[in-house]
Amino acid sequence: MKRTQIKRRPLADSVLHNLEPDTKDYQEPDSKGLYFRVKTNGRKSWLFRYKKPDGKWGWKGAGGFPAVSGKFARQKAQDWQRTLSDGGTIEVGTGRQKAVTTFGDAAEQWYQRKLDIGRAKDSVEQYRRYLDMDIYEVIPKLTPLDQVTRLMCANVQARIESRKAMTMAEKVRRWLNQIFSLAVGQGLCEYNPASELRQIAQEKPKITHYPHLMEDELPAFLKALRESRSKRLTLILTRLVLRTACRPGMARFAEWTEFDLEGGWWLIPADKMKTGEPHSIPLSRQTLEDLQELQEVTGRNRWLFPGYGPVNPTMSEGTINKCLGMVGYKGKLVGHGSRHTASTLLNEHEWDERLVEAQLAHKVQGVKGVYNKAKYLEIRRGMVQWYADYLDYLEFGGKKPVRPA
């Protein structure tokens, strides 16, 4: 593609890839201060034009293409524009010194890729928080990539382990590996200093599951919950979690637009899910009755379980556990533990493990997870109704529900 054929800016990805070299090196403007350079030998790179403190114009390399994408180059240019607007200066190499990509550049590119592939909101917030709170505190953003040492990476891991947050230390170790693997693959550095952190990691403590109840403990608990003095909205929220085995946060932030009460479905969008995929939950007759009652109270609100004011748009995180504690089950059962209870009871009654895992929205690992996209929606509807009926049987007695064929 000839440069004379360019029709719009910023330059589209197809244009960046297809621009042909000319008899002389040339720069094409992309966006404010950012130019795309094409050399006679076909090499392509990004340049940032800015005004120096002495009033003269200068250039700063923003990386080679395609290692540095258009989206990432524009983000770098915007960051430099802000630095200059705030009275700061931009460090540049002198003479023929080779420009070095910083650790911050590589980490932010990794973060942007996570955004681009649509990771769940909670995951993205976690990436951002630990980049700023821990990683950059040990490895400053402006550290040249080839000057990041194994000791620096080890100190990031040790910093998090010192808080006894072993699971987060493991996650951050994996993220550091990904950041450097991406940089190595793009030719921005030669080795991965985070590659052997697992060898010096502290051992994780044995997993302790959330407090949960077994089947023989459920009759007394359900009777105690029925006699609870908690508000009606709190009880409906608690029973929604118990009967659907959803994550408590999903219930707290449930919106009326997600529910098809006529069809009996709760359709949770991908950006709310830990897996990053939309999730469908069939609703039992008992749950639908609760929701129809709730709709009379909060149906005009965005949220099923609204809180008080803009600071607390929904009921608080501790609402369910406080309700459980008030009926004598503090330390014996928590909201998230109801997922363990449901999984245990359903498996003990020989429901297909695939149905149970699909209901819990657990991501299937390995090749099976790639090829098996079945959601078993209608079969799960029968399972969820049986589970709600079985909880009623444990609470009130009477005829034991029969599993559907």
Closest CA to 179 of 202, 158, 197: 197
pLDDT tens string 108-163: 989 988 887 877 777 888 999 999 999 999 999 989 998 999 999 999 999 999 99
**78 and 111 fall within a common domain:** no
DSSP 202: P
Residue tagged 């040990």 (tokens)? 138
Alpha carbons 238 and 356: distance in angstroms, whole number: 20
- Hey, what amino acid is at 53? P
**147 and 225 fall within a common domain:** no
Question: Is the whole model's pTM more than 0.75, yes or no?
Answer: no
**123 and 82 fall within a common domain:** no
**127 and 252 fall within a common domain:** no
**250 and 351 fall within a common domain:** yes
Alpha carbons 269 and 118: distance in angstroms, whole number: 12
Q: In this model, does residue 362 exceed pLDDT 90? A: no
CATH number at residue 68: 3.30.160.390
Q: Which two tokens stand for residue 148?
A: 């990041």
Report yes or no: 241 and 338 within 8 Å, Cβ to Cβ.
yes
DSSP count for the chain of H helices, then E strands: 16, 9
DSSP 303: B
Classify 248 as helix, strand or coil.
helix
Residue 205: inside a domain? no
What is the reported pLDDT for 383? 96
DSSP per-residue letters across 24-48: S-EEEEEETTEEEEE-TTS-EEEEE
Residue 302: inside a domain? yes
Residue 209: inside a domain? no
What band does 29 get if pLDDT is binned at 50, 70 and 90? very high
**53 and 29 fall within a common domain:** yes
pLDDT tens string 196-253: 999 999 987 766 678 999 999 999 999 999 999 999 999 999 999 999 999 999 999 9
Helix (H) or strand (E) holding 222: helix 218-226
**229 and 340 fall within a common domain:** yes
CATH number at residue 295: 1.10.443.10
Instruction: Give 369 or 226, the one with higher predicted confidence.
Output: 226
Which of the listed residues 91, 123, 151 is the one where a domain comes to its end?
Answer: 91
- Count of domains forming the chain: 3
Residue tagged 């080839």 (tokens)? 146
Q: Mean pLDDT, the chain, as a whole number?
A: 88
Full residue range of the structural domain in which residue 167 is found: 104-200
